[in-house]
Amino acid sequence: MIKGRRTNLAAVKEAILKRDGAKCFICGTLNGPFDLHHIIPISKGGDKFDLDNLVLCCQNDNRMLRAGLDEALTNEYLFSIISSSSNHLGQFMVTIESVKGLVGTQNSQRARALLNRMLYANIVSAMETYLSDKLISSVSRDDLLVRRVLENNPDFKSKTYALQDIFVVYEALRQRILDYLSSVIYHNLPKVQKIYEAVFGIEFPGDLAKIYKAILIRHDIVHRNGRSAEGVLVDLTDDDVLELVLETTRFVSDLNRRVQEAV
């Protein structure tokens, strides 16, 4: 039996180390010391000891997460993360931290309901942006990945060219692939999944049923002013928003780790 808070946290940390390895979930550094980061904060009802709610985070990145959005404009380090072209998970997490900070801040029922719809849609947007930016920036830096997009994608299968045009086609190929990747709708997860699996040779992590459902809800929020096709107003509680925070953070950070290990 594990007794006492201290022992409990130590045991939890050990279990996380075993699950994820001794590295920061954002930047992947192996240089500790590491903090435990609660995806749903304890102050918002997150479970302190639940492994699903915990990731290992280097102290630099944990400071960044704690700083939140307000300091983003003044804190040089945070600003460098947000504007950095390659730290896509860091950018996702900064958005998620801002969302977490806003959950539960409105007292009136109407304001709370509206804010929750906005936050919910924003989480899905942040996930889409991660999926798009991570893929495009990785492909733009690696010719092998360009080739994998081309050779594994059904959208390119039917194209044929005259031999005389081969160099013209070749010279424009890279840009064409990047343009293609920019045109993908990144909440079309089945399609994005196929591209990721072909390009990085990895599998998408876990069960995505809850994220699929969230994408449909986001559609009603963004394109139907918060109402379903039947006219019913989408009703989201603080817990619904926080649960999506948890699901997307787990998904994006798991995926990020798989991509990091693959390239």
Contact positions toward Zn ion, by CB under 5 A?
A: 24, 26-27, 58, 61
Q: Which is nearer to Zn ion, 84 or 225 (CB)?
A: 84
Quote the least distance from Cβ 180 to Zn ion, whole Å: 32
Q: Which is nearer to Zn ion, 27 or 234 (CB)?
A: 27
Radius of gyration of the chain (CA): 21
Quote the least distance from Cβ 187 to Zn ion, whole Å: 27
Strand partners, 233: 227
Q: Which is nearer to Zn ion, 93 or 145 (CB)?
A: 93
Pair type for strands 34-38 and 54-58: antiparallel
Quote the least distance from Cβ 62 to Zn ion, whole Å: 8
Distance CA 77, CA 53 (A): 26
Distance CA 38, CA 25 (A): 12
Q: Which is nearer to Zn ion, 61 or 247 (CB)?
A: 61
Quote the least distance from Cβ 57 to Zn ion, whole Å: 6
Distance CA 114, CA 221 (A): 10
Q: Which is nearer to Zn ion, 24 or 181 (CB)?
A: 24
131-170 burial code (b ≥16 CB/10 A, e <16):
bbbbbbebbbeeeebbebbbeebeeeeeeeeeeeeeeeee
Q: Which is nearer to Zn ion, 26 or 252 (CB)?
A: 26
Q: Which is nearer to Zn ion, 29 or 152 (CB)?
A: 29
Q: What are the helix and strand counts (H, E) for the chain?
A: 10, 2
Quote the least distance from Cβ 87 to Zn ion, whole Å: 9
Distance CA 217, CA 94 (A): 23
Quote the least distance from Cβ 252 to Zn ion, whole Å: 15
Quote the least distance from Cβ 92 to Zn ion, whole Å: 13
Using alpha carbons only, what angle is made at residue 46 by residues 44 and 51, rounded to the nearest 5 degrees?
160
Distance CA 220, CA 229 (A): 8
Q: Which is nearer to Zn ion, 116 or 253 (CB)?
A: 253
* Helix axes of 88-102 and 59-67: crossing angle, nearest 10 degrees: 40
Quote the least distance from Cβ 26 to Zn ion, whole Å: 4
Contact (CB, 8 A) for 121 and 216? no
Residue nearest to Zn ion (CB): 24
